[in-house]
Chains A and B, each alone.
Chain A
Amino acid sequence: MTENTNTNKINSFQKEQNKVEMRKQIITFALMIFFTMIAFFAVMLGVSSTFVIPLILILAIVQVGFQFYYFMHMKDKGHEIVSGMIFGGILVAFLVIITFVAITWW
Chain B
Amino acid sequence: MSHDHSLNPETMPEDPAKATMEGKHKFLGLWIFLGGETVLFACLFGTYLALRNSTAGGPSSQDLFGLELVFLMTLLLLTSSLTSVYAIYHMKNNNFKKMQLWFGITALLGLSFLGLEIYEFAHYITDYGFTFRSSAFGSAFYALVGFHGGHVVFGLSWLIAIMVRNAKRGLSLYNAPKYNTFGLYWHFIDVVWVFIFTVVYLMGMVG
Q: Per a CB cutoff under 8 Å, which of B39, B188, B198, B207 touches A39?
A: B198
A58-92 contact mask (Cβ, 8 Å, vs B): 1 or 0 = 01100110011001100000100110011011101
Q: Per a CB cutoff under 8 Å, which of A29, A53, A89, A100 touches B39?
A: A89
Residues in A neighbouring B38, C-beta threshold 8 A: 86, 89-90, 92-93
**How many A-B pairs fall under 8 Å by CB?**
131
Are A71 and B195 in contact, with the CB atoms below 8 A?
A: no
Residues in A neighbouring B81, C-beta threshold 8 A: 29, 67, 71
Residues of chain A in range 36-66 having any CB-CB distance to chain B below 8 Å: 36, 39-40, 43-44, 49, 52-53, 56-57, 59-60, 63-64
Are A72 and B49 in contact, with the CB atoms below 8 A?
A: no
Are B49 and A100 in contact, with the CB atoms below 8 A?
A: yes
Judge whether B131 is part of the interface by a CB distance below 8 angstroms: no
Min C-beta distance of B54 to chain A, whole Å? 9
Judge whether B122 is part of the interface by a CB distance below 8 angstroms: no
Q: Give Cα A89 to B35, complex, Å.
A: 5
Are A88 and B46 in contact, with the CB atoms below 8 A?
A: no
Residues of chain B in range 57-110 having any CB-CB distance to chain A below 8 Å: 67, 71, 74-75, 78, 81-82, 85-86, 89, 92-93
Interface residues on A, range: 35 or more
Judge whether B43 is part of the interface by a CB distance below 8 angstroms: yes
B115-127 contact mask (Cβ, 8 Å, vs A): 1 or 0 = 0000000000000
In the complex formed, the residue of B with least CB distance to A62 is: B194
In the complex formed, the residue of A with least CB distance to B42 is: A93
Judge whether B205 is part of the interface by a CB distance below 8 angstroms: yes
Are B9 and A105 in contact, with the CB atoms below 8 A?
A: no
Are A36 and B74 in contact, with the CB atoms below 8 A?
A: yes
Given contacts A67-B190, A93-B39, contact A33 B50 (CB under 8 A): no
Are A56 and B202 in contact, with the CB atoms below 8 A?
A: yes
Q: Give Cα A43 to B197, complex, Å.
A: 12
- Can you list 14 A-B pairs with a CB-CB distance of less than 8 A? A7-B9, A29-B85, A36-B197, A39-B202, A43-B206, A44-B67, A60-B198, A64-B191, A64-B195, A71-B82, A71-B190, A81-B28, A89-B35, A104-B51
